[in-house]
Amino acid sequence: MIYPCSKISSSCSCADTWPALGLLERKYVIFRSVYDLAITAIIMQPFRKMNTKEKEKYIEEFNFPHCDEATKYEKVAKIGQGTFGEVFKARDKKTNKKFVAMKKVLMDNEKEGFPITALREIRILQLLKHENVVNLIEICRTKAALYNKYRSTFYLIFDFCEHDLAGLLSNVNVKFSLGEIKKVMQQLLNGLYYIHSNKILHRDMKAANVLITKNGILKLADFGLARAFSANKTGQTNRYTNRVVTLWYRPPELLLGDRNYGPPVDLWGAGCIMAEMWTRSPIMQGNTEQQQLTLISQLCGSITTEVWPGVENLDLFNKMELPKGQKRKVKERLKPYVKDPYACDLLDKLLILDPSKRYDSDSALNHDFFWTDPMPCDLSKMLAQHTQSMFEYLAPPRRLGHMRHPHHQVPGGTAKPSSSMADSGYQDRVF
């Protein structure tokens, strides 16, 4: 049974004080997070009556009775790896036919217990159920090892998707028609519309986090950096971490230190992904935050108070070197790749510097791009021509340069964007 996020998170109202919690308290939070609340209430009844030593013994000997063992699945291949951990394609041993994706929870610091990013991802995915959002089936665990008998390895089990968008774009034999590009973007924006309607920010939009099934259904994936957001109340501002979103897809407001942001951060990423459908490679590949801001200015124009009122109030506005005298060239730079004028116009509206003027998912879905010939068309026929799964992890690096001539290939190039990681100086809330 799936419970709303608000109920699940009620057991962790002090999520912002997570670093101060001891191992005992963190394990308690895991109990309240991973399992159904009704079952957990039964499990915790004797726990509440125990003294401290009895509680420690109870937790240490607890055998997670309502969490299936990961051995019910047989790993077939490794399909992903990153700061989040590892992802495997696996077969359900019972059916021997059904495939799943197993995402290993990275326990990088065992003394701190179950990672907060995994707790956040579980809670959010228990809330989000939509055709264009990846489906969390269950949480499994391995038996604790003899040398560390109190620690299991946990896996998040997802429906298997045959491809990710970065893997598809890295293959020159995969060719998207204009109608198919429209279908990809329509589904991506539908997914964003749904999660934003449920007050969730993804905060790590990139091509590798866009999964596509063999039937052409797109799924937004990797909610490890996602979080709930709220509309500002009078006199109050949000204080979210700005150390999110992979660098090449990070919007200018985050690069300038904004911590009071919302859905526009995901729409900037959607614009970058949309451009990639033609360029086949990330359009702005900075190596540092400063360089990324420079590339953004060269494409979208200088960041000034005239085009972005209030930008001077952002923490890093006066600390970063912002190029002056740059004209906006989004349409001009994209024309060698994007022949459709409606596509160029939508891209121009998604890559607006001022987040308050940037198109939201609803406006984007109503843009003429999706309502003129050719109409969005099914992807399954095109994907049927490719029997091998394609994932970024298994593909060669994609690097074309910063939207130079469409046929100009940058030699070598194995650069990767810096990972999106939480700011060590600020602990973001789970909710």
Structure tokens at 167: 């893997």
Q: Is there a contact between 251 and 265 (Cβ–Cβ < 8 Å)?
A: yes
Spatial separation of the C-alpha atoms in residues 335 and 98, rounded to whole Å = 44
Beta-carbon-side half-sphere exposure of residue 182 (alpha carbons within 13 Å)? 21
Question: Buried b / exposed e across 74-89, counting CB within 10 Å, b at 16+?
Answer: eeeeebbebebbbbbb
- Among candidates 80, 84, 75, 90, which has minimal Cα distance to 158? 90
103 is in an annotated binding site: yes
Which helix (H) or strand (E) covers residue 46, if one does? helix 37-48
Listing DSSP states for 253-266 in one string gives HHHTT--S--THHH
Q: Is 325 exposed, middle or buried (0-12, 13-18, 19+ CB in 10 A)?
A: exposed
- Among candidates 27, 59, 37, 29, which has minimal Cα distance to 46? 59
Query: Annotated catalytic sites, by residue?
Result: 204
Instruction: For residue 325, give the amino acid letter.
Output: G
Distant-in-sequence, close-in-space partners of 339: CB < 8 Å, separation ≥ 6? none
Spatial separation of the C-alpha atoms in residues 298 and 323, rounded to whole Å = 8
Distant-in-sequence, close-in-space partners of 154: CB < 8 Å, separation ≥ 6? 34, 104, 105, 114, 118, 139, 140, 141
Beta-carbon-side half-sphere exposure of residue 194 (alpha carbons within 13 Å)? 18
Q: Is there a contact between 78 and 103 (Cβ–Cβ < 8 Å)?
A: no
Annotated binding site for ATP: 103
Annotated binding site: 103
